[in-house]
Amino acid sequence: MAEIMGPLFTISELAEELGITPRTIRYYEEMGLLEPQRYEDVGQRLFGQRERTRLKLILRGKRFGFSLAEIKEMIDLYDVDPTEREQLRRVVAYGEKRLQEIDEMMEDLQVMREEILEYHRRFTARLQELNQG
């Protein structure tokens, strides 16, 4: 188990700070994304700065649309390669993939928007015809 340096946080403190539920943090722990220090004598687990940082990265990754498996892979690479080279390569690759997905979604949305506008024009014109006649 890694040695903790700096402040320690309870699950409630982290949840409140980051605007998530303790249940979410427990889920990330179950998925192997977080490893809090367990203090059996007081029946509590505490999170150090490392876990707080990992949690922020998880939330950012989720906001960007990455899967938990992708996030775990990217975060875990830091522990394997302290030079961050492989981690950065993987982040760049996943980022490029995500950007491509976003571009495709934007194209689909633009097509949908145009279709809706066309129907709107048709229906508005038809409604005007019905109101005049």
- Per residue in 89-100, pLDDT (tens digit) is 999 999 999 999
| Largest Cα span, the chain | 83
Mean pLDDT of the chain: 92
Q: Which band of pLDDT confidence, cut at 50, 70 and 90, is reported for residue 49?
A: very high
Torsion of CA 50, 54, 55, 56, to 10 degrees: 100
Sign of CA dihedral 59, 65, 71, 75: negative
Output the pLDDT for position 1.
43
The pLDDT assigned to 5 comes to 63
Residues of the chain above pLDDT 70, percent: 96
pLDDT value at residue 95 = 95
- The answer on pLDDT for 2 being more than 60 is no
Q: What is the pLDDT of residues 60-75, one digit of tens each?
A: 999 999 999 999 999 9
| 3-state SS, one letter per residue, for 48-62 | CHHHHHHHHHHHHHH
d(CA 42, CA 10): 12
Distance CA 31, CA 83 (A): 25
